[in-house]
Amino acid sequence: MEVGMQGGRLVEPDSEIVSPTLSADEVSHLAVDIGGSLIKLVYSSINHNSGIDDKEKKYSKECSVVPNGSSNYPVICGRLHFAKFETNKINDCVEFILSKQLHHGGSWHHETSGNDKKAIKATGGGAYKFADLFKEKLGVSLDKVDEMDCLVAGSNFLLKEVHPEAFTYIDGREEYVQIDINDLYPYLLVNIGSGVSMIKVDGDGKFERVSGTSVGGGTFWGLGKLLTKCKSFDELLELSHKGNNRVIDMLVGDIYGGTDYTKIGLSSTNIASSFGKAISENKELEDYGPEDISRSLLRMISNNIGQISYLNALRFGLKRIFFGGFFIRGHAYTMDTISVAVNFWSKGEAKAMFLRHEGFLGALGAFRSYESHGFDANMTH
């Protein structure tokens, strides 16, 4: 799944879920996940002429009003759209919402102390940080939904309802995994955003954050920006395609004269120390290629996440490890490195699994929370 830039906005062209919106007015329901690095939007529509860019269009179908108790509530159905923005460009996000009028159709009304207020579902730390901005610019309140609740709800929904969704990535090949919904739990969800959360999921609404690490996507982006002068996460990722981490990383073979350390199962090509060669070489930062720095940095962080994830799965006897979050971006080298790390430390007993809609778990969970206000947010692929 490739991710491209469009006017400062990150566009994900290949995420497809048949889903929907309010059937009455062909307007969109909207939920946002505002993280430390990125803002993720999920919104639905059945208006085929709403000016949506080709790269944002998703499959769609008509849907009808269904009974819910004594009243008829409109089903959220049609196409589900995904968009994301850098958090430091939040004004671009606000302009996008304004341009499509998502805050009108995508809001619901609730009463607080007798006042009728328009609100949209929001999760992530930015739902608190930018609440005043949304009120000022869009005239809507952010109805805050717990971040971990949303991550788990989004993940459970995708794994149970959207097929194919989960896949392994081994030796450059994607292989989709058939999920038995009767044997899904427990599993470990590793969400890699600016930082990393590791969540043991035992069922719908049943979970525990068991670990995490501050070395995540924000680390890659932050260090990469300082070391290479790249202006964006995607530029940094693209740069890594051209790099060779062996220029900077110290390998086992560098220590043992080109040979393996067979007694403890290390090959000569295993990394002994990330960035280790910089110690012994009389070079300055400008003497190293930015593409090699990017590659080494990506590998260091991916390896670390893969190892810590497996160790936490081992703690609880979990065989299924699902990785999500926008650090991955469907990037082949990232997925390969995480997969190799899990395979190496588990001696082949565990496999890393990835999600096609990896970065939108929180936003999807927030979107589905409209159910508690009379809307059926079920979606089919």
Share the mean pLDDT of the chain.
81
| In the chain, % of residues over pLDDT 70 | 78
Residue 12 lies in a domain: yes
Distance (Å, whole) CA 48 – CA 224: 40
d(CA 206, CA 153): 10
In a 10 Å sphere around its CB, with 0-12 CB exposed, 13-18 middle and 19+ buried, how is residue 275 labelled? middle
CB-based contact 35:87 (threshold 8 Å): yes
- Residue pair 18/46 in contact (Cβ under 8 Å)? The answer is no
The position carrying tokens 């491209």 is 4
365 and 350 part of one domain: no
6: pLDDT confidence band, cut at 50, 70 and 90?
very low
Same domain, 136 and 226: no
- Tell me, what's the pLDDT at 78? 61
127-143: average pLDDT: 94
Is 346 domain-assigned? yes
One-letter amino acid at 25 equals D
Asked if residue 41 and residue 26 are part of one domain, the reply reads yes
**Looking at the structure, do residues 141 and 226 belong to the same domain, yes or no?**
no
Q: Say if 206 falls within a structural domain.
A: no
d(CA 9, CA 96): 9
- Reported pTM: 0.80
Of the candidate ranges 29-33, 112-116, 281-285, 341-345, the one whose mean pLDDT is the lowest = 112-116
**35 part of a folded domain:** yes
236, 313: one domain = yes
Question: Domain for residue 324, yes or no?
Answer: yes
Is residue 100 domain-shared with residue 82, that is, in the same domain?
Answer: yes
Are residue 308 and residue 368 in the same domain, yes or no?
no
Domain that holds residue 242: 217-248+288-355
Residues 343 and 365 in one domain: no
Within this chain, do residues 313 and 365 fall inside the same structural domain, yes or no?
no
Whether 49 and 22 map to the same domain: the answer is: yes
> Residue 32's domain is classified under what CATH number?
3.30.420.40
Q: Does residue 208 form part of some domain?
A: no
> Per-residue pLDDT tens for 322-371?
999 989 988 998 999 999 999 988 988 899 999 999 999 999 999 988 87
Note the pLDDT tens digit of each residue in 139-166: 999 999 999 999 999 999 999 988 889 9
CB burial of 306-339 (b: ≥16 within 10 Å; e: otherwise) equals bebbbebbeeeebebbbbbbbbbbbbebbbbbbb
Q: Does any domain span residue 16? A: yes
Return the CA Rg of the chain. Answer: 22
Per-residue pLDDT tens over the stretch 248-259? 999 988 888 888
Co-location of 368 and 308 in the same domain: no
pLDDT category at 242 given cuts 50, 70, 90 is very high
Who wins on pLDDT, 74 or 224? Answer: 224
For the cut 90, the answer to whether the pLDDT of residue 100 exceeds it is no
**The three-state (H, E, C) secondary structure of the chain, written as one string:** CCCEEECCEEECCCCCEEEEEECCCCECEEEEEECCCEEEEEEEECCCCCCCCHHHCCCCCCCCCEEECCEEECECEEEEEEEEEEHHHHHHHHHHHHHHCHHHHCCEEEEECCEEEEEEEEECCHHHHCHHHHHHHHCCEEEECCHHHHHHHHHHHHHHHCCCCEEEEECCEEEECCCCHHHCCCEEEEEECCCEEEEEEEECCEEEEEEEECCCHHHHHHHHHHHHCCCCHHHHHHHHCCCCHHHCCEEHHHHCCCCCEHHHCECCCCEEECCCHHHHCCCCHHHCCHHHHHHHHHHHHHHHHHHHHHHHHHHCCCCEEEEECCCCCCCHHHHHHHHHHHHHHHCCCCEEEEECCHHHHHHHHHHHHHHHHCCECCCEC
Number of domains observed in the structure of the chain: 2
